[in-house]
Chain A
Amino acid sequence: MLKIGVCVKAVINPETFDPKKYKDVLRLDEASRIPNECDRYAVQEAVKLREHYGGEVIVISVGSKYVMETIYDSLARGADKAIHIDYKEPFPEDPFLTASLIYRVVKEMRFDLIMCGAESVDNATSMTPAILSELLGFSYIWGAKKIKGIADGKIALYREVTSSLIEELEIKLPAVLAVQSGADELRYVSFAALRAASKKEIKTVSPEICGAEIIRLWNIKAIYLPLFEKKAIIIEGNEEEVAKKFTKILREMGVF
């Protein structure tokens, strides 16, 4: 019997996001959101473990009401229930904040395993699972591809290190895993599953409950497309001359 938590993020949809419309970073809340792809794989691996060993899978998501579609997606994929940490204000992208909110909610829940996606397609820091594992004092691995099995308080898994090397290893439970996408084909979500999802329990928790344990370290000041002039400088000479000239240009540009 396993108690598995899965952290899922509702990410900004890269296909439809138009940066010109979001000069004010706080208004990112209004962007259209979709479930993060590798979080779906995390849910699928968790559900497979539960099918094999028994137990329950609980998903957790942080953000305001835009996370609901993502939560339903996870429930439709087989999670048993959900916790919505309802951060009502526009949610500032801050992995420390996210991790500490989740930590406060899960620390008493005695999870055997917490699974997260390895990287979100919008902010892409990959930090939240690591910080969470530190706060919880759990083992941690980044880049889990597929789970082999659980025995004697350890979890055996595969990790893809480069595009062709696979690492097989095991770590002690309880653990936090940051899961890569692509292990097996994602199972489809039928209409029946979607209907069943709407009947499952979603508990809403407010951030105040987290109290003094919240950590805020990041402060995003602006988000914009890179500005660049169309200019080309051709540097000629042998290697040493080119290196000297190039360094000079960089200095003049204020790079260092």
Chain B
Amino acid sequence: MIGPVEVPNRLYQPAYCTMFGEGMRNALFRAEKAKGGFGLIIQEWTAVMRSADLAPIKCGNIWNLSLLHEHEIITRAVHKYGAKIFLQVVHPGERSAGYAGVTHKIPVPAPSTATDPTEMCTTKEMEEEDFEEIINAFAEAVIRARIAGYDGVQLNAAHSYLHSQFLSPYWNKRGDEYSAENYENRIRFIVNTLKRMREECRDEIALSVRFTVSWETTPKVEFSLEDGIECLKRMYHLGDFWDIDIDYYGFVTPSTIIDENYQIPYVLKAAKLVKEATGKKIPVGVVGFIRNPDSAVNILKDGIVDMIGLARQSTADPHWPKKVKEGRLEDIRECIGCNNCRSGYPSARPILCTQNVTAGEEYNGFYPEEFDEANEKKNILCVGGGVSGMEFARVAALRGHVVHLHEAEPELGGHYRLLAQLPHYSNRSRVIEWLERQLKKIPNVNVYLNSKMGIQDIKDYGADTVVFATGAEWDRSGSTNALTRREIPGWNIPGMSLTPPEILEALRKNALGEKILIAETDGRGCFSYGLASLLRQAGRDVYYAAYFSHGAPWMDYRLEYAHAIRTLWKNDVKLLFHVFPYEIKEKKVALMNFYTGEVVQEISVDHVVFTTQRKPRTELYKELKTMLKEGKTDIKEIYLTGEAVSPLVSAEPVAMARYWAHKLAREI
């Protein structure tokens, strides 16, 4: 029981943004988790007033009355499957300065006047009237949530949004009763908001609080676990359910390249203290990248918390609870923490999940566990067994087609398998393993390894339909660099320019030189970073020429950047910014500053590796397409899918390509 509300089980989906907006898309996305067995859904971050708007569009909104019906669509969809749903209401304070301030042309309230270098505006120090206005807005939000059918509301007093900004002297320089001088003052705004919200809950709906209980990894905030516990002791009785997490270097959803299991022990330690502080009377829930069913069960059994939250994992597999219940652990798609989902947040693009490409596509009829049978069963030859090829084969076969999947390498997985061999990225292999397991289970898929198909093999195969998922390959000439889009002179000097697979091969054979330059113009990082780490581990001198002023910006969107750069600096990788290879010579590379146009440096290296954009492998596809046009084959239709269409179209490879392959399989 959470307040007046009975929740069917102990698994909840904590609030997180999707950028889908209110309405059908969001509704079916959340409902899928209810269908999959989650007992409580906490609907995403929702702004309570204009000055609270956070992103250009599509973050949750309850101040716009015309969206009330859209909210109702969401609550109805979740209730249909027997789960409960709370609405998280927020004011971001200082963090909306960049958007709300400029778009709505109004001052953005915060504890103190402050300028964040990444935001476009400075904030306004809140006056008595602002406090009243904001608390009224929260009360209004509760009324609307109740009308729209939500079973509860959750105040976000966490994650460096307005209410949490009062907790730390970093944000709060006040001297009045809301100062950061003592605990009572720090929590006063939270307490007042909660009391007012409680009035409007009218004992009909529950009142929950999201709280970041420790900011120890971000020292400037000066808020320790002890501080968090002290605050909780003074206010826990005001909420029906405390949803706890911890900060990690400024984020609550660190990417797994940092440390996959960092959060769990820390969160549990915090949770234990929270439980003790709240006198074990009020339900407490935690989230912290818990994915393992055994861990979840043990955590609940030990009484450390009352509810377990699965956020990113619930995107990767909304049917996690059901599969655990039915003992089908091998069918669970485990979240890899790539943060591809989150990467769209700064530009308000909808989330996209590498493991579950149907996330957010339920409203288009793509349900993760349901497949329409094909009208006409076809014999399909799929050339290429990377992630896209495997996904295509899986979905097409589930719809009744007979699929023969041919892969030239001895193992499935393609480019992604290569990435998984690099440090920090080994958990990417889980994507491949899940697909391999599923393919083994589906009867009408035949997988052939070590099978490099030539044009004649394909022509003679006797398939009705041929799908090419041949992926993309690295370009040794550097011609895909974003600066000149031409080959770099000297690239064909023997032994100088190697592709990443060649680097790995040479390393294995102990035939790799001592100094290597990694030249990148692909702002998505990850490969360069992994390769640099691997080469340092192997004792090589590594130079890293990054195109962007500070390295790959898309790693920032995945919340990896700070950690990656920190690691590269600490491991003595020689970071070179604003430069790119101008000419390759024997054992030397000339680097040009692309702002000034001058050759600034010549470094002595044994090899250079271009981690620029890969080139799609389309020769077979094009050849067959020509034959099809000229009537020289019985094959009826051919398709190109996956990264062979366009490599790396999302923050991390594979996700979008896998979606394309999935969509093709649904429509074929």
Q: Which residues of A contact B (CB under 8 A)?
A: 15, 185, 188-195
Contacts and interface: CB of A to CB of B under 8 A. Distances in A.
Contacts of A15: 440
A188 B451 contact: yes
Nearest to B380: A191
Interface stretch (B5-13, B118-126, B312-320, B459-467): B459-467
Contacts of A193: 462
Nearest to A13: B443
A190 B440 contact: no
A192 B440 contact: no
B404 A195 contact: no
A190 B404 contact: yes
Given A15-B440, A195-B462, A189 B379 contact: no
Interface in B446-469: 446, 448-451, 460-464
A185 B440 CA distance: 18
Contacts of B449: 185
Contact of A191 (B381, B448, B450): B381
Interface string B489-529: 00000000000000000000000000000000000000000
B529 to A, nearest CB: 36
Nearest to B634: A192
B379 A191 contact: yes
Contact of B460 (A189, A190, A194): A190
A191 B404 contact: yes
Nearest to B460: A192
B450 A185 contact: yes
Given A190-B381, A190-B404, 13 more contacts: A185-B449, A188-B404, A190-B461, A190-B462, A190-B463, A191-B379, A191-B381, A191-B402, A191-B461, A191-B464, A192-B461, A192-B462, A195-B462
B413 to A, nearest CB: 18
B406 interface: yes
A188 B462 contact: no
A194 B463 CA distance: 11
Nearest to B402: A191
B248 to A, nearest CB: 41
Which of A15, A190, A194 has the largest count of B CB atoms less than 10 A from its CB? A190
Contacts of B451: 188
Interface string B386-410: 0000000000000000101010000
Contacts, number: 29
Contacts of B450: 185
Most buried by B among A15, A185, A189, A191: A191
Q: Report the 4 A-B pairs with minimum CB-CB distance, sorted nearest first.
A: A192-B462, A191-B462, A190-B461, A188-B448
A185 B463 CA distance: 22
B440 A188 contact: no
A198 B495 CA distance: 53
A188 B406 contact: yes
A149 B440 CA distance: 36
Contacts of B440: 15
A43 B440 CA distance: 23
A174 B8 CA distance: 72
Interface in B7-50: none
Contacts of A192: 460-462
Contacts of B461: 190-192
A115 to B, nearest CB: 23
Contacts of B463: 190-191
B384 to A, nearest CB: 14
A193 B448 CA distance: 15
Contacts of B406: 188
A58 B554 CA distance: 61
Nearest to A196: B462
Nearest to A191: B462
Nearest to A32: B443
B668 to A, nearest CB: 16
Contacts of A188: 404, 406, 446, 448, 451
Nearest to B406: A188
A15 B442 CA distance: 12
Contacts of A194: 462
A21 to B, nearest CB: 17
A191 B402 CA distance: 9
A191 B451 CA distance: 15
Contacts of A189: 446
A118 B375 CA distance: 43
B382 to A, nearest CB: 12
A15 B464 CA distance: 30
Nearest to B463: A191
B577 to A, nearest CB: 48
Interface string B627-639: 0000000000000
A109 B542 CA distance: 71
Contacts of B446: 188-189
Nearest to B464: A191
Contacts of A190: 381, 404, 460-463
A190 B459 CA distance: 11
